[in-house]
């Protein structure tokens, strides 16, 4: 019981702290790649603190409810990850959080929010099947959906699931809102939709969505770490290399339209997944 409590507190408290630091490192690395100095590493925390201190203003009560729902779902998914729970359950919970964001945007009559919400739905349609296939591949290799079984697996999953790791990279790019898949919203100032999905969020409720995104960062990087769960050094190197590649791709890629995203991600993602699953079945 004590160990479970420690895991819950670690996921609930350490999760967003590490997610915020990674977000700060993201901004610094992006600035360096663009020949800028960039903000301090703690800037995401400064921004969130400033937003939390602002006046509570929402279009309607649904928007506030959805902001809390998104934060609750993402934090619960991270806590379950630390508890070594079922991967399918974790994916379904994070999907509920993504839907909360869409509902909150649709609650507004702003055309920017409406278009951003519809684009977010298309992004969910793009990456959710891929995440499920990745988890299915993990199940076929380890014989269980439990994270505990992955951690006790004798060899790194990356050696048997290399194509599925690439597929996870596609989903990671979409979820982190990186180019070329930052259609619904972006942290960078190159959106024709202003803030898109989050246009009508402000003050404390915008801070809640940002903290929820920190939880999502930790969850996604945790999934990446499972592909080399035999040693913490391998996990660390894999996470660092993967995130650096995400930032690099973000800075060298132009944003594409939703038709290109849906066609390309499904074509490449489903093909690579099928090849890797057949390889596992025949091996």
Q: Which pLDDT does position 193 carry in this prediction?
A: 57
pLDDT digits (tens, 9 = 90+) for 18-35: 999 999 999 999 899 888
Q: Is the model's pLDDT at 71 over the cut of 90? A: yes
Name the residue ranges covered by the structural domains of the chain.
2-282
Cα separation, 160 vs 162, whole angstroms: 6
- Predicted TM-score of the model (pTM): 0.93
Mean predicted lDDT score pLDDT of the chain: 90
In this predicted structure, the answer to whether residue 192 has a pLDDT above a threshold of 70 is no
The encoded tokens of residue 92 equal 């379904």
Q: What is the mean pLDDT of residues 203-229?
A: 94
Q: Name the band, by pLDDT with cuts 50, 70 and 90, for residue 144.
A: very high
**pLDDT at site 198:** 87
Cα 227 to Cα 38, 66, 83, 191, 240: the distances in Å are 32, 32, 18, 33, 13
pLDDT at residue 185, as a whole number: 82
């Amino acid at each position: 019981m004590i160990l479970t409590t420690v895991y819950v507190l670690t996921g609930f408290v350490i999760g967003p702290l590490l997610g915020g630091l990674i977000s700060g490192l993201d901004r610094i690395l992006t600035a360096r790649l663009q020949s800028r100095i960039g903000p301090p590493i703690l800037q995401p925390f400064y921004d969130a603190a400033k937003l939390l201190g602002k006046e509570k203003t929402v279009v309607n009560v649904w928007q506030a409810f959805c902001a809390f729902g998104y934060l609750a779902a993402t934090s619960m998914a991270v806590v379950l990850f630390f508890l070594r729970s079922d991967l399918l359950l974790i994916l379904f919970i994070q999907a509920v959080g993504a839907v909360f964001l869409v509902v909150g945007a649709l609650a507004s009559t702003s055309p920017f929010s409406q278009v951003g919400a519809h684009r977010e739905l298309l992004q969910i349609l793009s990456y959710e099947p891929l995440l499920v296939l990745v988890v299915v591949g993990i199940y076929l290799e380890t014989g269980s959906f439990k994270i505990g079984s992955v951690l006790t697996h004798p060899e790194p999953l990356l050696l048997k699931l290399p194509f599925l790791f690439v597929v996870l990279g596609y989903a990671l790019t979409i979820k982190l809102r990186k180019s070329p898949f930052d259609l619904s919203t972006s942290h960078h100032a190159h959106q024709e939709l202003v803030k898109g999905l989050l246009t009508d969020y402000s003050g404390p409720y915008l801070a809640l969505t940002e903290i929820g995104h920190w939880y999502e960062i930790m969850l996604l990087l945790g999934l990446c770490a499972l592909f080399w769960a035999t040693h913490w050094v391998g996990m660390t190197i894999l996470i660092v290399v993967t995130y650096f590649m995400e930032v690099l791709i973000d800075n060298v890629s132009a944003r594409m339209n939703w038709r290109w995203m849906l066609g390309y991600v499904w074509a490449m993602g489903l093909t690579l997944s099928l090849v890797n699953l057949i390889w596992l079945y025949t091996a």
